[in-house]
Amino acid sequence: MSVPQYRKAAALTLAAGLGLSLAACSTKSDDSSDAGGKVTITVDCQPVGAQKELLKNWNDDVAAFQQQNPDIVVKSVSVGEQCNNPPDFTARLAGGTVTDVFYGYMTDLTQVLDSGQAMDITDYATRDTIPTWDSVDPALKEVFTDGGKLYGVPVKNYSMGLIYNKALFQRAGLDPATPPKTWPEVRAAAKKISALGGGIAGYSEYSAGNTGGWHFTALLYSQGGQVLTADGKKADVNNPAGRQVLQNLRDMRHGDDSMGSRQLLQWGDLLTNAGAGKVGMFIGAPDATQAIVTQFQGRYQDWAMGPLPGQDGPATATLGGGEGYFFKKGLSPEQVRAGLKWIAFQKLTPGKGQFDYVRAKPQNYPVGLPQPLLFAAGSDAQKQELDLRKANANVDTANFAAFEANPVPIKGEPRNAQAIYAVLDAAMSGVLTNPNANIDALLTTAEGKINQLLAADS
């Protein structure tokens, strides 16, 4: 498998709310050890109850880890289906109610640092606490580094492409082995798919909850654009590339009526529709197919993936990203080491935790997706992970062949990504809900607001 070199990238895979009150996430410093001298840590991102297999796997991992490390107690906290809903995450940071070891997107480093909640773990992250540490891609470590200090550990990495429903392609007379390579081809395919009727959207898109801005960024990258100028000081969306993004969406939504009538979609909304067989295409990462099946009752055999389309040829770039874990400021050295050992066991060891492909193979959980890409090319850990993935694949890896065979250069996210995405939501929702929306005006307004954000942060 071709593994591209990742530049500094950041992730946005958004969720649909918390399953726990903020107060329940709070951890007091005097809870760090119990009467038996054990070190106690609280860790979030435990799967929710509806994710039965994933929850069982998590609980089994906790039990196995504690058996191997009898001096450590892991207390698990669930904060929603995808672990991070940006507004709730911000509220937990502001209220100081994050867990000892807390999940975040790669875009969250600045926000975490500004909150004063981040602990410097530079001296603790070594091969002693994370045996595969030297194999982790240095570019991903850099994402969680500021001023030469490490504040987080990467646990997932991905890039985006075009995800499409093979069954709907066949019904619409399209070739499932040949996904659209350009946005005009996407538009033509979307028209044929939506013509099937029954409430099917040929192409679907986000436009609320920061997800619209996230996808606008990916679409802009496909056009050769960038959200900010090269020096990062000014917005750069009100230009031909930005206008082309919104024009493509307006043509499909209002010119062709191929995007469905319901808009203002967020993460769970779109994937619910996809799981019901009502979406022909959307952009996303490989693990979106996992969510469609494990959380929204879809079928793996229906879904495939190609590279992100460009306007008149291959995309200039695609959005890449990922996630990791931060450590709450004020933890004892023993708690930090315990947290790193847990992350190493659950997230960074081939054959364990998220890489326990032998366990996952018979479950409703995919083995064979071209992610997470955490380990550097040629490293021992990467070789082990790829060998295990290949030996235990339970999905048709041919469904991702076009995506893997046509890698698109990865481009990272802008600083202040979450705030910028919230601004860009308005441009996306404007063009998708109003057939008479003025694209120039939408982008002018967005650019002005982004510049205000940048000025306030300078």
pLDDT single digits (tens) 358-374 = 999 998 788 999 988 89
> Is the same domain home to 420 and 308?
yes
> Please, which pLDDT band fits residue 20 given cuts at 50, 70 and 90?
very low
Percent of the chain's residues with pLDDT above 70: 92
Task: Indicate whether 53 and 134 sit together in one domain.
Answer: yes
Comparing 33-42, 139-148, 195-204, 255-264, which segment has the lowest mean pLDDT? Answer: 33-42
Any domain includes 122: yes
- Region for 353 from its dihedrals, namely left if φ exceeds 0, alpha if ψ lies in -120 to 50, beta otherwise: left
> How many beta carbons lie within 10 A of that of residue 396, not counting itself?
14
What distance in Å separates the CA atoms of residue 223 and residue 24, rounded to the nearest whole number? 44
| 413 confidence band (pLDDT: 50, 70, 90) | confident
- pLDDT number for residue 26: 39
Q: Over 50: is that where the pLDDT of 19 sits?
A: no
Confirm whether 255 is domain-assigned: yes
Where does 33-123 show beta strands of DSSP type E?
39-44, 72-77, 101-105
- Highest-confidence range of 70-84, 229-243, 401-415, by mean pLDDT? 229-243
Q: How large is the average pLDDT for residues 156-161?
A: 92
The pair of three-digit structure tokens given for residue 197, joined into one six-digit string: 């009727």
Number of domains comprising the chain: 2
Q: Running DSSP on this structure, what letter comes out for residue 232?
A: S
At 36 the pLDDT is 67
Q: Are residues 271 and 383 in the same domain?
A: no
pLDDT at 393: 93
- Band (pLDDT 50/70/90 cuts) for residue 11 is very low
Question: Residues of the chain with pLDDT > 90: what percent?
Answer: 77
Residue 101 pLDDT > 90, yes or no? Answer: yes
Whether 12 shows a pLDDT value over 80: the answer reads: no
Q: Is residue 155 part of a domain?
A: yes
Same domain, 298 and 423: yes
In a domain, 5, yes or no: no
Q: Are residues 228 and 346 in the same domain?
A: no
Q: What is the mean predicted confidence (pLDDT) over 130-157?
A: 95
Name the residue among 326, 313, 373 with its Cα closest to residue 348: 373
Residue 420 lies inside a defined structural domain of this protein: yes
Q: Are residues 150 and 111 in the same domain?
A: yes
Residue 314 lies in a domain: yes
236 touches 228 (CB < 8 A): yes
Q: Please give the average per-residue pLDDT across 419-429, as a whole number.
A: 96
Are 335 and 191 found together in one domain? no
Output the CA–CA distances (angstroms, integers) from residue 233 to 54, 90, 110, 317, 353, in the order listed.
42, 24, 16, 21, 41
Residue 303 and residue 176 in one domain: yes
| Average pLDDT value for the chain | 90
Which CATH number characterizes residue 81's domain? Answer: 3.40.190.10
pLDDT at 386 over 50: yes
Domain that holds residue 441: 161-319+410-457
pLDDT above 50 (res 96): yes
Helices marked H in 32-135 — which ranges? Answer: 52-68, 86-95, 109-115
Whether residues 209 and 115 fall in one domain: no
Cα dihedral sign, 366-134-117-451: negative
Which pLDDT does position 33 carry in this prediction? 57
User: Residues 104, 129: one domain?
Assistant: yes
| Residue 6 confidence (pLDDT) | 28
Please tell me which residue, 49 or 253, carries the higher pLDDT value: 253
* 315 and 332 assigned to the same domain: no
Please tell me the predicted confidence (pLDDT) of residue 32.
58
pLDDT digits (tens, 9 = 90+) for 296-331: 999 999 999 999 999 999 999 999 888 999 999 999
Q: Is the pLDDT of residue 333 over 70?
A: yes
Give one word for 378, left, alpha or beta, with left for phi > 0 and alpha for psi -120 to 50.
left
286 in the same domain as 350: no
**pLDDT band, residue 64 (cuts 50/70/90):** very high
Spatial CB neighbours of 285, under 8 Å, sequence gap ≥ 6: 13, 158, 159, 160, 161, 321, 371
Query: Could you tell me if residue 396 is inside a domain?
Result: yes
Domain-located, residue 16: no
- 307 - beta bridge partners? 161
pLDDT at 123 over 90: yes
Among 7, 5, 457, 6, residue whose Cα is nearest residue 233: 457
Q: How confident is the model at residue 343 (pLDDT cuts 50, 70, 90)?
A: very high
- Which range in 98-112, 184-198, 292-306, 310-324 is most confidently predicted, on average pLDDT? 184-198
Single out the residue in 390, 405, 420 at which a domain terminates. 405
Let me know: does 10 contact 105? Beta carbons within 8 Å: yes
Q: Which of 253-257, 333-337, 408-412 bottoms out in mean pLDDT, i.e. has the lowest?
A: 408-412
> In residues, how long is the chain?
458
